[in-house]
Amino acid sequence: MKVDLLQMVETGGCSSKISPRQLEEFLKYLPVPHDPNILVNIDTHDDAGVYRVNDELALVFTTDFFPPVCSDPFEFGQIAAANSISDVYAMGGTPVIALNIMMFPSSSLPLEACAEILKGGADIASEAGVRIIGGHTIDDFPPKYGLAVVGYIHPEKIITNSGAKPGDLLILTKPIGIGVILAGQRMKMSSEKDVNLAKKLMKTLNYSGAEVMKKYNIKGATDVTGYGLAGHALKMARASNVTIEMYLGKVPLIGDTYRLVDDGCIPGAAFRNLEFVENDSHLTMDVRYNLKMICMDAQTSGGLLMCVPPEVSENILSDLHKTGFPRSAVIGRVIEKKEKYLNLEN
């Protein structure tokens, strides 16, 4: 029996996240533990928490899981694992160990599909040098999968949302449009070529991006996932108390993303993200509607968004182009805090 996981879900991947606005609403009630060894907590909405063990070592700790973004169980496992591990890379860490988190409807899917998801996860984990040493499984519909990951980092070399400085240029490593392409796939409007490219991008580890950031001593970065390019840029701008200016015409897009938005492929998550960033954003009059909605589009296992000093930006781009991220581009810059946290231009 050929399993098609996409038949089981309305939305998958990071577009299944709770809306950023609702998240902020209930995070207010979460008590923040006080401990001098907590180096990064939820205050800055970072990709992972960081806990200091000693002067040389801190642990980066994160988890992500979601419903299927593709039909094939093995590929779903690969994508979910790459996405989970990405948060460690976004902090500048080295992922080391992980636990599987699996929800699986054992009465409606063959157990082989469960095994395939886990094998896909193990495949990407081993590519990242991560050892999966356990996990937890719940009988549940629809299936969901991801990892809880622990990484190592030097306590003085943590890359956070709060590290953006006025003058920095903004580099994005992977083209965007994942949510649009996948919505188009459901409506039979996306080309097979674009769907395959989207899947390839989602499976691509952010490993070499993290290596480049370490090499050039970058301080501010995140990865682009469920809140879209604009949502994650806003989280950085707020945590760093700066304004981030983005030139939407320079943002690299996957295949026919722009045209698909013309044809109405705008997933619901993009509207939720727009609602989240709207009040904190200044849009110039001429910003094209398509580009605005694309920068709200929820990405799954998206690229790194780095704030880099201008004098090293050319070297960083050339390193990224050579190490598996040929479409990396400068898409904006960081300036002193203006009236709004985000300036969106064409």
Residues acting as catalytic residues: 14
- Total binding residues toward Co ion, as defined by CB under 5 A: 5
> Which one, 72 or 223, has the nearer CB to Co ion?
223
Minimum Å distance from CB 91 to Co ion? 9
Are the C-beta atoms of residues 202 and 82 closer than 8 Å to each other? Answer: yes
> Which one, 97 or 335, has the nearer CB to Co ion?
97
64 binds Co ion (CB under 5 A): yes
Burial of 249 (0-12, 13-18, 19+ CB in 10 A): exposed
The count of C-alpha atoms lying within 13 angstroms of the C-alpha of 131, restricted to the half-sphere facing its C-beta, is: 2
**DSSP code for 49:** E
**Collapsed DSSP state (helix, strand, coil) of residue 79:** helix
Measured in whole angstroms, the distance separating CA 33 from the mean position of its chain's CA atoms is: 26
> Which one, 65 or 258, has the nearer CB to Co ion?
65
Residue range at the interface with Co ion (CB under 5 A); choices 46-54, 68-76, 119-127, 183-191: 46-54
Segment 255 to 294, residues that bind Co ion, using CB under 5 A = none
> Which one, 172 or 261, has the nearer CB to Co ion?
172
Residue range at the interface with Co ion (CB under 5 A); choices 37-45, 86-94, 95-103, 208-216: 86-94
Minimum Å distance from CB 286 to Co ion? 31
Minimum Å distance from CB 327 to Co ion? 20
Q: Across-strand partners of 66?
A: 145
Question: What are the Cα distances from residue 316, in Å, to 167, 224, 289, 302?
Answer: 16, 18, 31, 18
Residue range at the interface with Co ion (CB under 5 A); choices 79-87, 116-124, 204-212, 336-344: 79-87
46 binds Co ion (CB under 5 A): no
> Which one, 172 or 265, has the nearer CB to Co ion?
172
Minimum Å distance from CB 222 to Co ion? 6
**DSSP code for 89:** H
Segment 133 to 162, residues that bind Co ion, using CB under 5 A = 136
Question: What are the Cα distances from residue 29, in Å, to 21, 23, 284?
Answer: 14, 11, 36
Where are any strands of DSSP class E within the chain? 38-40, 49-52, 58-66, 94-104, 131-139, 144-153, 169-172, 220-223, 243-247, 281-283, 304-308, 329-335, 342-345
Minimum Å distance from CB 136 to Co ion? 4
Binding mask 196-235 for Co ion (x = CB under 5 A): ---------------------------x------------
Judged by CB under 5 A, which of 47, 245, 297, 319 binds Co ion? Answer: 47
Structure-token match 């950085």, residue found: 236
Q: Across-strand partners of 152?
A: 59, 94
Are the C-beta atoms of residues 276 and 227 closer than 8 Å to each other? Answer: yes
> Which one, 100 or 257, has the nearer CB to Co ion?
100
186 binds Co ion (CB under 5 A): no
Minimum Å distance from CB 170 to Co ion? 16
Binding mask 6-45 for Co ion (x = CB under 5 A): ----------------------------------------
Beta strands 169-172; 304-308: pairing state = antiparallel
Contact positions toward Co ion, by CB under 5 A? 47, 64, 87, 136, 223
